[in-house]
């Protein structure tokens, strides 16, 4: 994790972003997407599919690109656009700031951040951060009320979770782990551990005073695990949370689908 990522590695990493369900615009497409286009132009559909599948598998082994913030920088609404916020090297909770990269456009990185609404990328200069990779990802399925932890594209754990109840459903989309916190710092109802996420709950329950940040955390009511019972966060058993804490570092991408 300490080694720098050479610029030539960026194109390959983008395939993993496609596999993670981020739709890239034309300037951001990966080498695998270019391969697909080249094969399709010659009518080789089956060969194209095999080539892209092989490229995705190879790039998932390399992991997902993350940006480690070393000093204060401007977060822009688009490459070269206006500054929407300034980010320091620490998060609001005091963790080292590690941003999940979801797109690359020349010298600009599109990052997932809690400073912007769900689904909106912020843009930072590639030269202002240290690039690294994480090899894990978290995939939450709201319909089955499960989370799958993957390493290099392969499932290594599957756990049951509580999801948002009616009227306060868990939002879907691509997010990232921003902080790993002790639940006891915030009250017994968070269990042992909290993985704070970059996302926000747009529809908190009436009278809710717990803030609008999404998280995967424990619970003081283990009987609710597997039910639609939360204010929007994903709740899991302490043993499962500890496994996530050990294997999913800050910056890990989190994909939530219905």
Domains and CATH numbers, the chain: 7-134 (2.30.30.40), 136-257 (2.40.440.10)
Taking 70 as the threshold, does the pLDDT of residue 213 lie above it?
A: yes
pLDDT band at 10 (very low <50, low <70, confident <90, very high): very low
DSSP helix/strand/coil, 50: helix
pTM of the predicted structure, to 2 decimals: 0.79
The partner residues of 216 in beta bridges, in order of sequence, read 195, 234
Cα–Cα dist 227/206, whole Å:
20
| CA neighbor of 152 nearest in space, from 226, 64, 81, 214 | 64
Neighbours of 173 (CB within 10 A): 17
Cα–Cα dist 123/79, whole Å:
6
What CA–CA distances, in Å, run from 110 to 24, 103, 142?
10, 5, 26
Strand 173-182 and strand 64-69: pairing? unpaired
DSSP helix/strand/coil, 253: strand
Dihedral pair phi/psi, residue 46, rounded to 5°: -65, -40
What does the block give as tokens for 175?
């997010």
Per-residue pLDDT at 126: 97
What is the per-residue pLDDT across 147-168, written as a single tens digit (0 to 9) for each? Answer: 999 999 999 999 999 999 999 9
Neighbours of 96 (CB within 10 A): 13
pLDDT band at 101 (very low <50, low <70, confident <90, very high): very high
DSSP helix/strand/coil, 249: coil
Per-residue pLDDT at 56: 61
Check residue 91 and give left, alpha or beta (phi > 0: left; psi -120 to 50: alpha): beta
Helices within the chain (DSSP H only): 10-19, 31-41, 45-62, 238-247
pLDDT band at 16 (very low <50, low <70, confident <90, very high): very low
Look over the chain and give the mean of its residue pLDDT values, rounded to a whole number: 84
């Amino acid at each position: 994790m300490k080694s720098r990522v050479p610029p030539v590695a960026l194109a390959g990493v983008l395939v993993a972003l496609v596999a993670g369900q981020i739709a890239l615009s034309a300037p951001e497409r990966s080498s695998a997407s270019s391969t697909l286009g080249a094969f399709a132009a010659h009518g080789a559909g089956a060969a194209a599919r095999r080539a892209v599948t092989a490229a995705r598998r190879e790039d998932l082994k390399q992991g997902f690109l993350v940006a480690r913030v070393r000093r204060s920088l401007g977060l822009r609404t688009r490459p070269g656009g206006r500054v929407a916020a300034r980010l320091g090297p620490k998060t609001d909770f005091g963790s080292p700031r590690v941003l999940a990269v979801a797109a690359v456009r020349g010298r600009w990185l599109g990052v997932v951040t809690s400073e912007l609404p769900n689904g909106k990328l912020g843009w930072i200069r590639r030269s202002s951060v240290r690039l690294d990779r994480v090899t894990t990802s978290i995939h939450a399925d709201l319909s089955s009320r499960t989370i799958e932890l993957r390493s290099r594209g392969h499932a290594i754990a599957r756990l049951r979770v509580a999801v948002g109840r009616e009227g306060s459903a868990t939002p879907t989309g691509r997010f990232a782990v921003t902080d790993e916190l002790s639940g006891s710092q915030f009250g017994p109802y968070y269990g042992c551990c909290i993985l704070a996420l970059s996302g926000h709950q747009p529809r908190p329950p009436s009278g809710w005073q717990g803030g609008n940040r999404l998280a995967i955390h424990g619970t003081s009511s283990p009987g609710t695990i597997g039910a639609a019972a939360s204010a929007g966060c994903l709740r899991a058993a302490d043993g499962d949370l500890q496994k996530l804490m050990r294997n999913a570092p800050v910056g890990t991408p989190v994909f939530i689908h219905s």
